[in-house]
Chains A and B, each alone.
Chain A
Amino acid sequence: MAIRFYLAPMETIVDGRGRRLTRVKYIGALGISLTSVNDYGNEPLCFLGADVTPAQHAALTANADVSPFPVDLDSTVGANLATVQQALESRNLPADDVTVNTPYRIMMRWIIAIFSITTAQPLFSGGVTLDTTLGQLTVAQRQELQAAAQSAGYSTAGLTLQSTIREALRKAVGSAGERTILGVVV
């Protein structure tokens, strides 16, 4: 068993008790029991930490919508830059700050920080992308994003209606801090 980290999809179901439930896709069927899930608000995405066997890891990453982080979190993105950028951008996570010299551990902090800026309903629907401007969002969406950012302690200085969601989310990157997940310092 080993603690591994992933970007993984979330799914919404109605469970056997009639409850609306959001959960990480795949892991229940694989019998993975020790998990830590940082969800991206109501987007169908999470940062997953899990204690897995090699077989569970292989089965989990066999799914195209699961992206694993390497065992060595201090290794840098290096030659995987294009792949990493594509993996982030396709999940509505700005990859602007990722370079060949970015350690995965730092990138994980950025992702968790960005995940704290969310809205009650999925933001990236109806044609909304990272490059949609704040002025194109509804007033309620803007207020929710601002409240979430301020609650997390991130600056919103300099953001205007012409700023993009990408620019707003990147405000979190500079404030991302260390934390411990399943005993691993990230």
Chain B
Amino acid sequence: MPVKVYGPDAFTVGADVNLNTYDANWEKVLPADASWAGVVQAKAATDDLRATNASAASYRWNGQTLVGQKILGKLLAGAGDYPGFHARLTPTPGGGANRVLGYLAEWQATENLIQIYRITEPGGVLTYATIASAGVVGNGSTYTGAYLRATGTNPVHLEYGDNTQGPFTFDDSNAARAVSGQPGVSFSDALPISIWIDDVEVWDEDAIAPVGNPWRLAIQQRAG
């Protein structure tokens, strides 16, 4: 039974603070080159996550190692900007051949859909393979309950959607499918006053639920 292991985090702060400083369980990933120079901050004025410049940045949550995982939250979609969630995200050393970097779901207002990518690094080149798309995404629209879920390893079962659409599913059996890694958040081409992500939760989809009262009652009855 899935168990929530983080959040919902409303990112309430008194002053702007980088996400990995706000909570050390968040780690910035992907090469720190020019295209990924963005920094994500918890913003005091709005109590949400925003990128600090027109670039890109991804952060993964490392609070607990997860295989089956789901990350969800509320996000604002905007034309030309791309908020999203990662699943099974692993950092790249920036040159490792064919390193699997995981999955990314972006709410794309420009393309007007939710797009799923498998990110790999064949020959040391970061590559986004478009593996699924669905739904409708509007410019300036807010989506609550937006989520990306990854379970299983062969195939990897992906599920995604939000409170207005889905669930959509995709089974990935490609040799480059991602079988490990952590959930994360993604901002791409984000301007400071544009898109945001808020109320983030992380779920362990492989958790074993604790024994509840019905069992305890049965044991007590048997003992009595």
Contact = CB atoms under 8 A, between A and B. Distances in A.
B126 A33 contact: no
Interface stretch (A65-73, A117-125, A126-134, A158-166): A117-125
B125 A33 contact: no
B175 A37 contact: no
Interface in A6-53: 12, 15, 17-24, 28, 33-39, 41-42
A120 B173 contact: no
A117 B174 CA distance: 7
Interface stretch (B61-69, B132-140, B201-209): B132-140
Contacts, number: 91
A34 B173 contact: no
Contact of B175 (A34, A112, A152, A180): A152
Nearest to B114: A33
Contacts of B171: 179-181
B133 A35 contact: yes
In this complex, the interface size class of chain B, counting residues with CB under 8 Å from chain A, is: 35 or more
B141 interface: no
B129 A33 contact: no
Contacts of A118: 174-176
Nearest to A153: B154
B24 interface: no
Interface in A129-183: 144, 147-148, 151-153, 179-181
9 contacts: A17-B82, A21-B127, A33-B113, A33-B136, A34-B133, A35-B132, A37-B131, A116-B175, A117-B175
Interface of B: 35, 56, 82, 97-98, 111-113, 120, 122-123, 125-136, 154-155, 168-171, 173-176, 188-189
